[in-house]
C-alpha cells in the first residue's frame, strides 16, 4: 500500500499519559520509535518539541472524551497537520490492545492516509459551542427540578399541574411560594391566580386542597432556590454569548430567516457547524455528519436497517426541534413537505426529512451568504400538476362520481 506521509506520528491519549509513536519511511521500510509523556503542560511542550525534532508532518490522535483537547491545543501551536480520529473508525484487531500498539496502529494508518479526520472548529466557535451546550444542560436541569416540584406537590395531594399549564409561571409561582410560607386555605391560594387562567375558582380550590407538611415545604423551598440559581446562571451565559457573538452575527441573522429557527437556535447551529462551509464538500456530507440520513447497513443485497445514525447529538436535537416549529408554520414549504411525507412515511420520518431540508438550506445560505427564499406551500402541487390532477380525479371516482377534466382556457 502506498505511503502518503513519510514522517508522521500516532498518539494514544489518556488522562495522565500520552503514548507517542513516530513513524519514518527510510529505504522502503518503516522505522518506529515510541515514547511516553505526561499530560502536564511542560511534558506536552516536550512532546511537541520531540515531534518537531523528528520532522513529523502529520499527527493523528483519537477523540477520547475531553482528554485530547489539551494535547491538541499545545500541538496546534506547532507546524503539524493534526488529525482527530473517531475511535470507532480506527479500532485495531481484537486481542492486541496495548497503549503502544494503539499508538503504532494510529501511526501506520496515518502514514497510508487511512484516517478520516473529524471536524474540529476554530477556537471562537469552540467557545460559543461550549457556552450554548452548557446553557442547554442548565435548561434540562431546570426542567428536571420543575418535575421534582410536581412530584412534591403530588405527594402533598396538590393537583396544581392539572389546572395550570406552567406551574412555574406567574400564578403557579405565587401559589407555591404561598404554600412554602404556610398558607393552606384553598380559597386564599386560588385568588392568587391570574385572571387569564382558564380554570374556574372552584376548580382551583379543589386542586389546591391537600395535605402539605413541613417536609413538603422544605423540599419546595430547596427546589425553588435551585431553579432560581439555574436561571441566574443561564442569564450569565446569555450575557457572555452576547459579548462574543460579533463574529457570528451575520450568520445568525441569515439562519434566522428560515421558518422555525429562532435567534437562539441559529446560534446553536452556527456553534455546531461553524460558518465556513468549505469543510464539507457538499450538503450531503454535512447531513451525514449531523446524522440526519439513513445509515448504510446492507449485506447480501438486503438493507438491514434504515434508521438514522447518531451523528452530532447536540446539533441533531436542535434541528429536530426547529423542524417541528417549521412544520407548524402555515403556508410554508417545510409544512407542505411535512404533511406530504407524514401521510406516506409517518410523522417521525417526516420530521427527520424536514430537519434535513433545514440543514440543507442552512448549508447553502452560509456558503453563499443568501437569505431564505420559501418555495411556498403549493410547490409540490405545481411541480407535478398532472399527478395531482390524476390523484384528485381518482379520489372523486372512488366516491361514485364521474369526472371530466376541462382546462379553464378551453372552457372559455
Kindly list the strands in the beta sheet with 81-85, ordered across the sheet, starting from the edge strand earlier in the chain. 29-38, 17-26, 7-13, 58-62, 81-85
Residue 227 has a pLDDT of 96
Q: How buried is residue 318: exposed, middle or buried, by Cβ count under 10 Å (0-12/13-18/19+)?
A: buried
Report the alpha-carbon distance of residue 113 to residue 103 in Å, rounded. 15
Residue 88 has a pLDDT of 79
pLDDT in tens, the chain (412 residues): 688 899 999 999 999 999 999 999 887 778 999 999 999 999 999 999 999 999 999 999 998 889 999 999 999 988 889 999 988 788 876 767 788 999 999 999 999 889 888 888 889 999 999 999 999 999 999 999 999 999 999 999 999 989 998 999 999 999 999 999 999 899 999 999 988 888 899 999 999 999 999 999 999 999 999 999 999 999 999 999 999 999 999 999 999 999 999 999 999 999 999 999 998 999 999 999 999 987 776 777 777 777 777 888 899 999 999 999 999 999 899 999 999 899 888 999 999 999 999 999 999 999 999 999 998 888 887 777 778 788 888 888 888 888 888 877 655 4
CATH number for the domain whose boundaries are 7-111 = 3.30.420.10
The backbone torsions φ and ψ at residue 362, rounded to the nearest 5 degrees and listed phi first, read -60, -40
Q: How far is CA 15 from CA 39, 49, 64, 220, in A?
A: 7, 21, 9, 40
Residue 410 has a pLDDT of 56
Q: Which of 47, 64, 74 is nearest to 99 (CA)?
A: 64
180: helix, coil or strand?
Answer: helix
Q: Give the helix/strand (H/E) hosting 134.
A: helix 123-155
Q: Give the helix/strand (H/E) hosting 299.
A: strand 298-299
Q: Give the helix/strand (H/E) hosting 129.
A: helix 123-155
Q: Are 207 and 160 in contact (CB under 8 A)?
A: yes
Q: Give the helix/strand (H/E) hosting 11.
A: strand 7-13
Q: Roughly what angle, to the nearest 10 degrees, separates helices 313-327 and 123-155?
A: 70
Write down the pTM of the prediction: 0.85
Amino acid at each position: 500500500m502506498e505511503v502518503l506521509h513519510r514522517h508522521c506520528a500516532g498518539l494514544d491519549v489518556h488522562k495522565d499519559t500520552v503514548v507517542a509513536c513516530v513513524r519514518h519511511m527510510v529505504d522502503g521500510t518503516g522505522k518506529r520509535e515510541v515514547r511516553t509523556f505526561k499530560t502536564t503542560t511542560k511534558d506536552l511542550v516536550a512532546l511537541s518539541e520531540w515531534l518537531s525534532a523528528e520532522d513529523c508532518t502529520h499527527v493523528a490522535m483519537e477523540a477520547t472524551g475531553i482528554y485530547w483537547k489539551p494535547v491538541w491545543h499545545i500541538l496546534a501551536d506547532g507546524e503539524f497537520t493534526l488529525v482527530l480520529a473517531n475511535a470507532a473508525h480506527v479500532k485495531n484487531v481484537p486481542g492486541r490492545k496495548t497503549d503502544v500498539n494503539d499508538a503504532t496502529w494510529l501511526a501506520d494508518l496515518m502514514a497510508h492516509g487511512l484516517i478520516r479526520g473529524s471536524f474540529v472548529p476554530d477556537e471562537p466557535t469552540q467557545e460559543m459551542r461550549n457556552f450554548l451546550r452548557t446553557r442547554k444542560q442548565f435548561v434540562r436541569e431546570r426542567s428536571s427540578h420543575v418535575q421534582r416540584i410536581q412530584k412534591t406537590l403530588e405527594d402533598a395531594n396538590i393537583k396544581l399541574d392539572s389546572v395550570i399549564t406552567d406551574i412555574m409561571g406567574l400564578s403557579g409561582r405565587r401559589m407555591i411560594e404561598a404554600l412554602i410560607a404556610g398558607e393552606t386555605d384553598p380559597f386564599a391560594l386560588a385568588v392568587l391566580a391570574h385572571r387569564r387562567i382558564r380554570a374556574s375558582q372552584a376548580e382551583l380550590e379543589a386542586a389546591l386542597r391537600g395535605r402539605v407538611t413541613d417536609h413538603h415545604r422544605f423540599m419546595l423551598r430547596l427546589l425553588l432556590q435551585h431553579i432560581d440559581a439555574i436561571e441566574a446562571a443561564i442569564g450569565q451565559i446569555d450575557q457572555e454569548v452576547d459579548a462574543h457573538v460579533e463574529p457570528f452575527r451575520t450568520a445568525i441573522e441569515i439562519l434566522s430567516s428560515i421558518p422555525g429557527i429562532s435567534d437562539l437556535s441559529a446560534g446553536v447551529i452556527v456553534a455546531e457547524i461553524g460558518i465556513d462551509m468549505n469543510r464539507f464538500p457538499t450538503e450531503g456530507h454535512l447531513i451525514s455528519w449531523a446524522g440526519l440520513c439513513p445509515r448504510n447497513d446492507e449485506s447480501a443485497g438486503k438493507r438491514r436497517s434504515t434508521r438514522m445514525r447518531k451523528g452530532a447529538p447536540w446539533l441533531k436535537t436542535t434541528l429536530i426541534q426547529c423542524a417541528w416549529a417549521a412544520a407548524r408554520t402555515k403556508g410554508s414549504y417545510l409544512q407542505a413537505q411535512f404533511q406530504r411525507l407524514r401521510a406516506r412515511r409517518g410523522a417521525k420520518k417526516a420530521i427527520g426529512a424536514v430537519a434535513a431540508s433545514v440543514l440543507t438550506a442552512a448549508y447553502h445560505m452560509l456558503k453563499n451568504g443568501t437569505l431564505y427564499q420559501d418555495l411556498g406551500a403549493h410547490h409540490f402541487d405545481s411541480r407535478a400538476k398532472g399527478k395531482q390532477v390524476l390523484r384528485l380525479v381518482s379520489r372523486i371516482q372512488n366516491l361514485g362520481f364521474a369526472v371530466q377534466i376541462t382546462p379553464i382556457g378551453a372552457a372559455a
